[in-house]
Structure 1
Amino acid sequence: MEHEVSVWELDALSSEARQLLLKRTESDLSDYLNNVRPIVEQVKQHGDKALLEFTSKFDGVSLSLDQLKVTEEEFVAAEQSIDEATRESICFAASNIRRYHESQKPGEMTLQEVRKGSFVGERFLPIPSVACYVPRGKGSFPSVLLMNAIPALVAGVKQTIVITPPGPDGSVDAATLVAAKEIGIKDVYKCGGAQAVAAVAYGTETIPQCKKIVGPGSPWMVAAKTLLSNIIDPGIPAGPSESIVFADDSVDGGLAALDLLIEAEHGPDSSAFLVTTSRKVMEEALAALPEHWGRMEELRTSYSSTVLCGAMGGIVLASTTRSAFQFINDYAPEHLQILSKAPWQFLNLIENAGEVLLGEHSPSTLGNYVLGCNAVLPTSGAAKTVSPLGVMDFMKFMSVAYVTESGYPEMAKHAEQLANYEGFDAHSNAVSAIRKQYLKT
């Protein structure tokens, strides 16, 4: 089957055409927002009843009320059905992810003396609850559960639940349940899409209300999180997968093509570009893609070819390294892979990316599954200001301050001066000579 991969000569593009290359599937959510409003309202008003109706309508699955939550029997059946090799890999990944995120966790409290006798710091606490969303529409993703839930557990969140759409037979993916049990999560609920976001935002008879929701999903889910952002913390923007593979002329373009397909195969709404300054690499990649597609199943070939032959993917040929990385930083990709014999030379050129994977032995497959760094990453250009999911997404801190008797006079003097300048009488009085009347010293 012939696929005509999109090729973009970066320097030949008009500013309008270049801007179009930066567009993502969920860049304009207006239509989705209009469509999810009635879904959200129905779940708010009717709870479980609405959930069951939307599960039937959108997922084609008829569930009863007692099937919304995964039972202990379903966990047991999942364990019995999973092969040992998959279980071992789940445990391997979970161990690495936990180890990495434990290194992120701050101590319970910090305190420093900013002036003699005056101390300020922070006290760190976990948030009370979170819903971890695991998508299902384009596959089964136990790895997403691990990435979402482990940092929450490391942070100490007391109520960590999982929401995931049911499969055609009404079940939850077996490996996802095994992953949940491996890390200690028992509360898994069968719901997806906009209705799932509404369910955890407002709570239903079965599903508890949560303070935050994390995890990637479709534009429908992203729209629902946007709509409900004043009700529930929507977490980092995590929409359809996107990636840029940068390759210099020290590597084979066939390798670049191999890695280009990793994120492109997630779905037709993904975005994936190979950026290179080498025409040789471009031609080698174009020649290798049909061979790589020949080794893939029809569904994944269809998804990835739709991406690479469309307006949100393909090969970008830049005239200079500088222009290549200017485009990459403007794009701010979720995943950025640097293919080079000397990849570290490019790191200082990168300002915006969810993650950077350096070298020929660091394909994003490893990051997605087993390296330990979090694969829930900001999408749609949000990497310009947003970081990957981590322990601090599940924690908050409160400022703590303590001033001693000896440290007070200097602090009071300058605070009174600024309060007077700004015209706040009570502020000024509280640190003036009036205070001494009440201090029994």
Structure 2
Amino acid sequence: MTASVNIVKLAELSPEERERCLKRTESDLGPYLEKVEPIVAAVAEEGDEALARFTRQFDKAPVTADRLAATREDFIRARKTLAPDLIEAIAFAARNITRFHEDQKPEEMWLHEVSPGAFAGDRMTPIPSVACYVPRGKGSFPSTVMMTCIPAKVAGVEKIVIVTPPGPDGNIDDATLVAAEAAGVSRIFKCGGAQAVAAVAYGTESVPRCAKIVGPGSPWVVAGKRLVADLIDTGPPAGPSESIIFADGTVDGRLCALDLLIEAEHGADSSAWLVTPDARVVAAALAALPGFFKEMSAERVGYAEAVLQGPQGGIMLCPDAESAIAFINDYAPEHLQIMSREPMAWLGSFKNAGEILLGEYTPSTLGNFVLGPNHVLPTGGWAKTASPLSVFDFMKRTSIGQVTREGYERLAPHARIIAKYEGFDAHANAVSELRRNLLKN
């Protein structure tokens, strides 16, 4: 089993080899951009006909241009078909996700007195529309429906649509429909990949043009977003899944192996590392993996093995905790799990991560589905500057200012000096005697 999982010793890596360990599949979009460009152009030109054609071609689904939208009958069928315990689990998750994002929502407006008689603040208003991308190629993701649509609803977005690839039968996944219903969204369209991104960027006969698109996706989706970024806000970066588990040696390495597989099973384009300074954790994890593989489907084992044997994953043994932390901060993972009996002792050391899950009882399974915080997280190293999807992504700030006569007398002289220095005559005139004389009249 050891030979089938990458074992990397950080201390023995050259700078170039260490850099390669930081790479993700979306790091080089060049090949995808070339292939995606004609897809985007076709959707812009042909609309629904191109959407349907690409859905038949790429998703092998019998979809026609006049049947792209989910119908009321689709929602009724889904609720009748889905197992009651899954319907209840979706409702449970929706409640927690809603509560978290309601707590996150900022006050509608604030004004503070920055100087006597001068007030400044912000007003928060929702964006007008958003498309929520829900992937399907390697599984069905009702959780992503809730994670994208619920914060948009909480923010007050009026027009929310979902774009998602249909299955081979041409239908939208039943759980996706039920989750959409739980989130209060009824407009769902059968399209995925770069063609779906193009559809909401340009608008088609069926799919409305939207102001923004959010949600995770493959490099094809990421490339599509790149090409239409001048037409639509492409939201926070969210590519293929990635995770790092940091283990300090106080926990069972078998538990680390169990959780290492969570993100690794998403697909061969995922990234997953167990990073530890403790050789005992490495040995225990390696010994445990074959048993855990036996509890997974052949498809998911294939994905996990591809990740753990490929350039984007494995087990990394570090000479000490400091070098492990430095690597993780450079990596800036989407998911970071601190496996320690005292995880709070390590929390302050980690600066860059989309989310940080603390301790043995917080696997990313809980964060992905039911804990409440958003699972649409920055990938590809963007956690250094980007944040998880949130209510704020569906709202915009408008600065508010108001100055009284008393406040004006204090601010105007300073503003006039700066305006004159920068060479703006009208700026300076607006806070000069000209204004004072007009106000007197």
Q: TM-score, normalised by structure 1?
A: 0.99
Question: Could you tell me how far apart the structure 1 residues matched to 2:139 and 2:6 are?
Answer: 26
The corresponding residue for 2:335 is 335
DSSP 3-state at the match of 2:100: helix
DSSP 3-state at the match of 2:439: coil
Report the Cα offset of residue 65 of structure 1.
2.6
Question: Could you tell me how far apart the structure 2 residues matched to 1:304 and 1:158 are?
Answer: 40
Q: Is the 8 A contact 1:3 1:305 kept in 2?
A: no
The corresponding residue for 2:347 is 347
How many residues of Structure 1 are paired with residues of Structure 2 in the alignment?
Answer: 441
Question: Could you tell me how far apart the structure 2 residues matched to 1:26 and 1:3 are?
Answer: 26
DSSP 3-state at the match of 1:439: helix
The corresponding residue for 2:277 is 277
Question: Could you tell me how far apart the structure 2 residues matched to 1:162 and 1:423 are?
Answer: 50
The corresponding residue for 2:137 is 137
Question: Could you tell me how far apart the structure 2 residues matched to 1:294 and 1:117 are?
Answer: 70
Are 1:124 and 2:124 counterparts?
yes
Question: Could you tell me how far apart the structure 1 residues matched to 2:232 and 2:355 are?
Answer: 26
Question: Could you tell me how far apart the structure 2 residues matched to 1:438 and 1:229 are?
Answer: 46
Question: Could you tell me how far apart the structure 2 residues matched to 1:179 and 1:299 are?
Answer: 25
The corresponding residue for 2:47 is 47
Unaligned runs of at least 5 residues, structure 2: none
Please give the residue correspondences for 1:86-105 in structure 2 after superposition, counting only pairs within 5 Å: 86-105=86-105
Q: Which amino acid aligns with 1:225?
A: K
Question: Could you tell me how far apart the structure 2 residues matched to 1:4 and 1:66 are?
Answer: 48
The corresponding residue for 2:305 is 305
User: Which of 221-230 and 422-431 deviates more?
Assistant: 422-431
Report the Cα offset of residue 62 of structure 1.
2.1
The corresponding residue for 2:108 is 108
Question: Could you tell me how far apart the structure 2 residues matched to 1:267 and 1:245 are?
Answer: 18
Question: Could you tell me how far apart the structure 1 residues matched to 2:160 and 2:440 are?
Answer: 48
Are 1:209 and 2:209 counterparts?
yes
**Following superposition, which runs of at least 4 residues in structure 1 exceed 4 angstroms of deviation?**
none
Report the Cα offset of residue 64 of structure 1.
2.1
DSSP 3-state at the match of 2:378: coil
User: Which of 419-428 and 201-210 deviates more?
Assistant: 419-428
Q: Deviations over 1:168-224 (max 9, x none)?
A: 000111011001111211101000000000000000000000010000111000000
Are 1:169 and 2:166 counterparts?
no
Q: Is the 8 A contact 1:211 1:233 kept in 2?
A: yes
Are 1:9 and 2:12 counterparts?
no
Q: Which amino acid aligns with 1:113?
A: E
Question: Could you tell me how far apart the structure 2 residues matched to 1:168 and 1:230 are?
Answer: 33
The corresponding residue for 1:186 is 186
For the structure 1 residues 266 and 396, does the alpha-carbon distance in structure 2 shift closer, same or farther, using more than 3 Å as the test? same
Q: Is the 8 A contact 2:2 2:286 kept in 1?
A: no
Are 1:147 and 2:156 counterparts?
no
The corresponding residue for 1:255 is 255
DSSP 3-state at the match of 1:336: strand
Question: Could you tell me how far apart the structure 2 residues matched to 1:139 and 1:440 are?
Answer: 71
Q: Deviations over 1:68-88 (max 9, x none)?
A: 000000100000001110011
Question: Could you tell me how far apart the structure 1 residues matched to 2:120 and 2:387 are?
Answer: 26
Report the Cα offset of residue 434 of structure 1.
1.3
Question: Could you tell me how far apart the structure 1 residues matched to 2:224 and 2:123 are?
Answer: 32
Are 1:433 and 2:436 counterparts?
no
The percentage of aligned residue pairs carrying the same residue is 58
The corresponding residue for 1:74 is 74
Report the Cα offset of residue 425 of structure 1.
1.2
Report the Cα offset of residue 3 of structure 1.
6.0
Report the Cα offset of residue 66 of structure 1.
2.9
Give RMSD over aligned pairs: 0.9
Q: Is the 8 A contact 1:257 1:285 kept in 2?
A: yes
Please give the residue correspondences for 1:406-417 in structure 2 after superposition, counting only pairs within 5 Å: 406-417=406-417
Question: Could you tell me how far apart the structure 2 residues matched to 1:181 and 1:420 are?
Answer: 58
Are 1:21 and 2:21 counterparts?
yes
The corresponding residue for 2:367 is 367
Q: Which amino acid aligns with 1:27?
A: S
Question: Could you tell me how far apart the structure 2 residues matched to 1:123 and 1:433 are?
Answer: 32
Question: Could you tell me how far apart the structure 1 residues matched to 2:316 and 2:107 are?
Answer: 45
DSSP 3-state at the match of 2:4: coil
Q: Which amino acid aligns with 1:135?
A: P
The corresponding residue for 1:401 is 401
DSSP 3-state at the match of 2:311: coil
Question: Could you tell me how far apart the structure 2 residues matched to 1:355 and 1:410 are?
Answer: 45
Question: Could you tell me how far apart the structure 1 residues matched to 2:266 and 2:64 are?
Answer: 31
Question: Could you tell me how far apart the structure 2 residues matched to 1:408 and 1:254 are?
Answer: 67
DSSP 3-state at the match of 1:38: helix
Report the Cα offset of residue 67 of structure 1.
1.6
For the structure 1 residues 425 and 288, does the alpha-carbon distance in structure 2 shift closer, same or farther, using more than 3 Å as the test? same
Q: TM-score, normalised by structure 2?
A: 0.99
DSSP 3-state at the match of 1:438: helix
The corresponding residue for 1:219 is 219
Q: Is the 8 A contact 2:51 2:65 kept in 1?
A: no
User: Which of 369-378 and 59-68 deviates more?
Assistant: 59-68
Q: Is the 8 A contact 2:132 2:161 kept in 1?
A: yes
Q: Deviations over 1:36-82 (max 9, x none)?
A: 11000000000001111111111111212332000000100000001
Q: Which amino acid aligns with 1:248?
A: D
Q: Which amino acid aligns with 1:138?
A: K
Question: Could you tell me how far apart the structure 1 residues matched to 2:133 and 2:193 are?
Answer: 9
Report the Cα offset of residue 440 of structure 1.
3.3
DSSP 3-state at the match of 1:240: coil
Report the Cα offset of residue 148 of structure 1.
0.6
Q: Which amino acid aligns with 1:157?
A: V
Question: Could you tell me how far apart the structure 1 residues matched to 2:201 and 2:162 are?
Answer: 14
Question: Could you tell me how far apart the structure 1 residues matched to 2:42 and 2:238 are?
Answer: 25
Q: Is the 8 A contact 2:62 2:168 kept in 1?
A: no
Question: Could you tell me how far apart the structure 1 residues matched to 2:161 and 2:58 are?
Answer: 22
Report the Cα offset of residue 20 of structure 1.
0.1
